[in-house]
């Protein structure tokens, strides 16, 4: 990625949050790198070097600013094909995937060769994928050392380092300080079982109210809970060969373009995938100005609309199948019954009481059992077929996979048509150009009679049609 120094310096002078996470500034006089929103004394242009990623700044010998904290910056969002491939790779790396597989395996899941992946990643981020992964581990460790009371050994393990000595060595060589140097300021809550706290930044404007209403209207009792502005949910995920379970809580931070995330102690060893999944759920990497400019008049009265993602792709896909041709309330009733029957209890998690059933559990469930919950026979067969493919690893329902292949796999399952596949792509795969053209709510909003008409109209909103869908659905909130 080529960066124009004059444009970057102008953005630095403005401290505009729209540029946060888009580039970083290395200051030669201090050897520190900052975010464009940093409020320290602005350096001279002659002393500034501009980098497309934190990893590139660190590779050039700069260490992170302790005031603006580059680890808090939002991620990137773009629809240029090569850049998007690099960004999806970065998100997979941030989720800790390179600690569980080699780069050729990751490239295969993305549907490209590892040589092509290395090339486009280097062009976008200025470093190799492995160097980027190392920077992400170090920045997460810096974050935990600053904001938590976890012992240094636990910080090293939670950040993805295999040994304490390797962690100490890299931290000292890259940041020119010992990990313990960041522990000079006490954190607020020192209880051993206190939740871990993380600040997750976004680029304003952010239409939180619409996103909150959409998610709360569809939340699964027992698995999710909304109280005012606070969202809480149960979590179970596989990471580094282990199953982790617990709870998380998210709420806005007053006066700041950030959300506050709290994690229960059971998730302390699975922080990277949890952070990236929460970012996807709340669409925190979105660049609203870029999107709203394409949507034009559709977005002018409600800027900053987000597309609600999902924390778990299988959970979202089940919800989508059970929501076919029924109202939101009816689908929610069916999912609630499914959780009560097949979900595992989660003790000591407050208002969330159950974990969503795993794909393996649903795959092993007899169709008659699902029928007893009021699920039609055809949908029961569809759920079981979906669960089997997810459980055996054939179907990957997360951002950063081979999208055309995933859509093809979904629609090959009897009972999943174009509407369901596009809805899953929109929310579980975070595909910003997804468009469920046969949606009744879109017909009503656009005054159309069939999918062909809505598809034709939608071409003006490419490549951000999923955001157009949210605006149109919001006009028909009963959808």
Backbone angles phi, psi at 475, to 5 degrees: -70, -20
Cα 173 from Cα 159, distance rounded (Å): 17
| Alpha-carbon span 116 to 169, nearest angstrom | 32
Reported as type and span, the H/E element at residue 378 is: helix 377-391
Q: Which of 20, 207, 433, 439 is catalytic?
A: 439
Closest CA to 393 of 313, 280, 277, 308: 313
- The phi and psi torsions of 347 (rounded to 5 degrees) equal -75, 155
Cα–Cα distance for residue pair 479/474, rounded to 1 Å: 8
Q: Respond yes or no: is residue 448 known to be catalytic.
A: no
Bridge partners, residue 50, by sequence: 25
State the catalytic residue, choosing from 34, 38, 68, 174: 34
d(CA 445, CA 376): 30
Per DSSP, the three-state class of 10 is helix
Compute how many other C-beta atoms are within 10 angstroms of the C-beta atom of residue 154. 15
Please count the other Cβ atoms lying within 10 Å of the Cβ belonging to residue 98: 22
Is residue 439 part of the annotated active site? The answer reads: yes
CA 255/CA 17 separation, integer angstroms: 13
Q: Are strands 63-64 and 32-34 parallel, antiparallel or unpaired?
A: parallel
Identify the H or E element spanning 13.
Answer: helix 5-14
Classify burial at 135, counting beta carbons within 10 Å of its beta carbon; exposed 0-12, middle 13-18, buried 19 or more. buried
- Residues annotated as catalytic (active site), given as ranges: 34, 439
């Amino acid at each position: 990625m080529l960066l124009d120094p004059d444009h970057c310096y102008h953005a630095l002078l403005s401290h505009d949050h729209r540029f946060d996470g888009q580039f970083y500034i290395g200051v030669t006089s201090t050897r520190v790198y900052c975010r464009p929103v940093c409020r320290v004394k602005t350096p001279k242009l002659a002393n500034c070097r501009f980098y497309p990623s934190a990893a590139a700044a660190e590779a050039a010998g700069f260490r992170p600013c302790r005031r603006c904290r580059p680890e808090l910056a939002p991620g990137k969002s773009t629809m240029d094909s090569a850049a998007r491939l690099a960004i999806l790779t970065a998100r997979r790396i941030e989720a800790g995937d390179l600690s569980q597989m080699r780069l050729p395996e990751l490239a295969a899941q993305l549907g490209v060769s590892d040589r092509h992946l290395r090339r486009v990643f280097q062009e976008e981020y200025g470093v190799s994928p492995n160097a980027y992964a190392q920077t992400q581990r170090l920045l997460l460790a810096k974050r935990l050392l600053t904001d938590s009371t976890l012992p240094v050994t636990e910080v090293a393990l939670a950040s993805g380092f295999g040994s304490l000595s390797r962690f100490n060595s890299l931290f000292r060589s890259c940041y020119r300080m010992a990990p313990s140097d960041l522990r000079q300021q006490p954190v607020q809550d020192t209880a051993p079982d206190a939740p871990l706290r993380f600040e997750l930044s976004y680029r304003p404007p952010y239409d939180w109210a619409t996103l909150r209403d959409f998610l709360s209207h569809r939340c699964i009792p027992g698995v999710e809970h909304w109280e005012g502005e606070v969202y809480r949910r149960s979590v179970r995920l596989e990471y580094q060969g282990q199953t982790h379970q617990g709870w998380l809580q998210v709420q806005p931070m007053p006066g700041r373009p950030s959300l506050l995330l709290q994690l229960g102690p059971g998730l302390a060893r699975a922080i990277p995938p949890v952070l990236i999944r929460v970012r996807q759920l709340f669409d925190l990497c979105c660049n609203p100005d870029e999107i709203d400019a394409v949507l034009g008049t559709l977005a002018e009265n409600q800027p900053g609309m987000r597309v609600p993602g999902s924390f778990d792709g299988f959970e979202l896909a089940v919800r989508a199948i059970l929501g076919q041709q029924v109202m939101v309330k009816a689908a929610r009733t069916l999912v609630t019954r499914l959780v009560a029957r097949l979900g595992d209890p989660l003790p000591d998690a407050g208002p969330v009481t159950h974990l969503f059933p795993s794909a393996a559990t649903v795959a092993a469930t007899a169709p008659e059992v699902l029928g007893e919950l009021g699920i039609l026979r055809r949908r029961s067969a569809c759920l079981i077929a979906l669960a089997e493919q997810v459980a055996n690893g054939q179907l990957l329902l997360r951002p950063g996979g081979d999208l055309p292949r995933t859509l093809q796999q979904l629609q090959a399952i009897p009972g999943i048509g174009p509407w369901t596949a596009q809805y899953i792509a929109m929310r579980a795969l975070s595909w910003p150009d997804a468009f469920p053209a046969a949606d009744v709510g879109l017909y009503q909003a656009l005054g159309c009679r069939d999918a062909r008409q809505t598809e034709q109209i939608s071409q003006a909103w490419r490549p951000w049609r999923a955001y157009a869908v949210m605006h149109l659905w919001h006009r028909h909130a009963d959808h």
